[in-house]
Amino acid sequence: MNFKAFVTEETKKGFVSNVIERSLEDLPEGDVLIKVLFSSLNYKDALSASGNKGVSRNYPHSPGIDAAGIVEESNSDEFLAGDEVIVTGYDLGMNTSGGFSEYIRVPKEWIVKKPDNFDLEESMAYGTAGLTAGLCVRKILFSGIKPKDGEVFVTGATGGVGIVAVMLLAKLGFEVVAITGKETEADLLLSLGATEVVNRSEFEGDMKSPLAKPRWAGGVDAVGSDILSNLITATHQRAAIACCGMVGGVNLNTSIFPFILRGLSLLGIDSAETLIDVKKEIWNNFATDWKLEKINDQIKDVGLEELSFEIDKILKGQQVGRVRLKN
Ligand SMILES: NC(=O)c1ccc[n+]([C@@H]2O[C@H](COP(=O)([O-])OP(=O)(O)OC[C@H]3O[C@@H](n4cnc5c(N)ncnc54)[C@H](OP(=O)(O)O)[C@@H]3O)[C@@H](O)[C@H]2O)c1
């Protein structure tokens, strides 16, 4: 059987992506064949589609690190034809043919059954970026940080991770300071629950001092580099910062002082390799106590043919909110 997929190829002119016909035999071995109804655009997909060999080594390749759909064939008792399922991370879309396609075939260990009171369409409004925001918030809560402890920040606030982190922290009662490069989106961030919006230029440049006046009880950082360096210096006692991204750069210049004099915890997040039971927990949370009423407002739905345009935008840091692929 043939189906459509977004495929990136290495050519003499560089990496080029097109929507082409593929056949089921082109898919890798795996326990479960899934008809993909939805996927979402994440920063890592843009790296894969532009030939970043740290993400995808072999081309031609279909990116797409997440997918939601219906089981079509399965050789596992855990998943039956017709089950509605979600797959995020592990090797999907990296070196395993990904969700920017009408079909994927994956190992059963990568799959989560869709929770009740949640639909597949909604799951890819969150997508990997939303799951990652959830993982960040989970670790911050495990550190014991509570709304009464003070302000928390979110960097890259208008991006995929950022926008879900702002909404979720606000829903849980935190005072959320949204740090953004897009002042034009301040009203949007306030409407999603931010209590204040600050331009990221305030935190750019070299770390000014290893310890600054304490402001933050914690935060979610999707940016890294100088901005994270400067935020780390201004934490209260026992603060917790979850860091997951590197759109601002991969280096982190810091000192030991916030850690040994203020007990700061810097919590790393790797959503791809997160244990499947923890992924299930986050999806169940989004279906229940963490349900975000406004999640669907921040979505742009696109088809396979429109992905290239959206990939360019995410690489330029110009996306606002989430982009969902609808097959
Ligand atoms: N560790 C994990 O498991 C995991 C999972 C998902 C994503 N990530 C990473 O998290 C990061 C964000 O992902 P995303 O999907 O949210 O991407 P995104 O939708 O492109 O959002 C990133 C946001 O960061 C801000 N930004 C862009 N360029 C910047 C720069 N040079 N300096 C400072 N801020 C900049 C922009 O927001 P403002 O204009 O509002 O500032 C942008 O919208 C990426 O590095 C991604 O790889 C990691």
The per-residue pLDDT for range 187-245, each reduced to its tens digit, is: 999 999 999 999 999 999 998 899 999 999 999 999 999 999 999 999 999 999 999 99
Q: What is the mean pLDDT of residues 129-157?
A: 98
Distance in angstroms (rounded) separating the CA atoms of residues 108 and 112: 9
Q: What is the pLDDT of residue 297?
A: 84
Q: What is the mean pLDDT of residues 63-69?
A: 98
Residue nearest to atom 24 of ligand 1 (CA): 156
SS3 percent helix, strand, coil of the chain, rounded to 5, is 30, 30, 40
| Band of pLDDT at residue 321, cut at 50, 70 and 90 | confident
Q: What is the mean pLDDT of residues 43-59?
A: 96
Distance in angstroms (rounded) separating the CA atoms of residues 34 and 69: 6
CATH 3.40.50.300 matches 128-268: no
2-114+294-326: CATH class: alpha beta
Q: What is the pLDDT of residue 317?
A: 87
Q: Which of 40, 190, 247 to mutate to test the pocket of ligand 1 (most atoms within 8 A of CB)?
A: 247
Q: Supply 9's token pair.
A: 């190829």
| Any ligand 1 atom below 6 A from CB of 42 | yes
Lowest mean pLDDT among 11-15, 110-114, 129-133, 287-291: 11-15
Q: Supply 248's token pair.
A: 């601002």
| Residue pointed to by tokens 């989004």 | 286
Distance in angstroms (rounded) separating the CA atoms of residues 307 and 297: 19
| Band of pLDDT at residue 43, cut at 50, 70 and 90 | very high
- Give the torsion sign (CA, 99, 105, 110, 115): positive
Mean pLDDT of all residues belonging to the chain: 96
Q: What is the mean pLDDT of residues 58-62?
A: 96
Q: What is the pLDDT of residue 103?
A: 98
Q: What is the pLDDT of residue 229?
A: 97
Residues of the chain with CATH 3.40.50.720: 128-268
Residue type, 257: F
Element containing residue 121 per DSSP (H, E): helix 120-142
Q: What is the mean pLDDT of residues 113-136?
A: 96
pTM score, two decimals?
A: 0.96
Could you tell me if 70 and 84 are in contact, meaning their C-beta atoms sit under 8 angstroms apart?
Answer: yes
Q: What is the pLDDT of residue 296?
A: 87
* Beta strand segments in the chain, E: 2-11, 14-23, 32-41, 66-74, 84-88, 103-106, 111-113, 152-155, 176-180, 196-199, 216-221, 235-243, 265-268, 299-302, 322-326
Question: What separation in Å is there between the alpha carbon of 163 and the centre of ligand 1?
Answer: 10
Q: What is the mean pLDDT of residues 53-61?
A: 95
| Any ligand 1 atom below 6 A from CB of 159 | yes
Residue 189 CA: nearest ligand 1 atom is 40
Question: What separation in Å is there between the alpha carbon of 44 and the centre of ligand 1?
Answer: 10
The per-residue pLDDT for range 145-187, each reduced to its tens digit, is: 999 999 999 999 999 999 999 999 999 999 999 999 999 999 9
Q: What is the mean pLDDT of residues 87-100?
A: 98
| Band of pLDDT at residue 298, cut at 50, 70 and 90 | confident
Residue nearest to atom 33 of ligand 1 (CA): 248
| Any ligand 1 atom below 6 A from CB of 44 | yes
Q: What is the mean pLDDT of residues 80-109?
A: 98
Q: What is the mean pLDDT of residues 250-271?
A: 97
Residues of the chain with CATH 3.90.180.10: 2-114+294-326
Question: What separation in Å is there between the alpha carbon of 175 and the centre of ligand 1?
Answer: 21
Report CA-CA distances (Å) from 98 to 1, 34, 62, 213: 18, 11, 5, 45
Residue type, 52: N
